[in-house]
Amino acid sequence: MRHTLPIAPQFYVTAPQPCPYLDGRMERKLFTALQGEHAEKLNDGLSKQGFRRSQNVLYRPSCADCAACMSARIKVADFEPSRSQKRTMKRNGHLQRVASSPWATEEQYELFRRYLDSRHADGGMADMDIFEFAAMIEETPIRSRIIEYATATHDPDQKNDLTAVCLTDVLDDGLSMVYSFYDPEQARNSIGTYIILDHIEIAREAGLPYVYLGYWVPGSPKMGYKAKFSGLEVYRKGAWETMADPEAYSSDTHPLSVDPIAEQVARISLPDTRG
């Protein structure tokens, strides 16, 4: 099913750079600016075609010799938690969720730094300072929310202990989890999985059919967790399809020509928020 865009955006392609997910490969991104009065409709339309948002840019992989990255989303109506996921929900049931406008705080940045230093010290965001962090959170031309998870305290003079944060976009057909981070000491409680499970519940309560997870990359250990959710769909060869068996998707190279609309090449670097 084709999704008609409200305007005809101009697309560009980044210069090749090393792929952060599959060793020995180079990546390129197809991207367009997200701005103006049609920003929300453009974001809604291109999200249905496998694009992701990074601040005021929409992008998707457009590699010359590989198509391993596939946009993934959970169909809420088809999701059934596994026994492991039910245990994860129970273990994290003490956390309180607070959703607010996208506004960066020092407490969020401190948590973000602990998360990066522990799990992604050599990643593309490792050198991000507090001003760049604030831009990532606050520079959004569409409807976005910051969702915080904290352990409540019984002392009225003491702040709740911030445990996890997710920057989430609200689309016309679902929630898009732009970027999440959490206390690395909570990894043993599968807090990352819990954030996704809670977003499924938020979408269900709001009557939204999908939760967009970003890109799933078969063969990349960093992305393997996404395949553990039932009701998962991936955007492949121009259409969404239900994932039946993750092992059926090869991580070998697949020829993929650059989209005809991508005629201009810009040598810029975009923050990577696929995780």
Please check the confidence at residue 123 and state whether its pLDDT lies above 80.
no
Gyration radius from the chain CA atoms: 18
Report pLDDT digits (tens) over 242-267. 998 888 886 555 544 444 444 343 33
Please check the confidence at residue 274 and state whether its pLDDT lies above 70.
no
Break the chain into its structural domains and give their ranges: 12-70+253-266, 72-248
Q: Are the CB atoms for 75 and 233 separated by under 8 Å?
A: yes
Given this model, what pLDDT does residue 223 score? Answer: 78
Please check the confidence at residue 206 and state whether its pLDDT lies above 50.
yes
Please check the confidence at residue 62 and state whether its pLDDT lies above 50.
yes
Q: Is the dihedral of CA 94, 77, 212, 233 positive or negative?
A: positive
Report pLDDT digits (tens) over 127-177. 889 999 999 999 999 999 999 999 876 555 555 689 999 999 999 999 999
Backbone φ and ψ for 210, nearest 5 degrees, come out as -135, 155
Output the CA angle 104-108-111, nearest 5 degrees: 155
Backbone φ and ψ for 219, nearest 5 degrees, come out as 95, -10
Q: Please state, in angstroms and rounded to a whole number, the distance separating the CA atoms of residues 195 and 149.
A: 9
Question: What is the pLDDT averaged over residues 232-241?
Answer: 92
Q: Is the dihedral of CA 124, 190, 89, 111 positive or negative?
A: negative
Output the CA angle 39-78-76, nearest 5 degrees: 35
CATH of segment(s) 72-248: 3.40.630.30
Average pLDDT, the chain: 85
Given this model, what pLDDT does residue 101 score? Answer: 96
Please check the confidence at residue 93 and state whether its pLDDT lies above 80.
yes
Question: What is the pLDDT averaged over residues 63-87?
Answer: 93
Report pLDDT digits (tens) over 210-224. 999 999 988 777 778
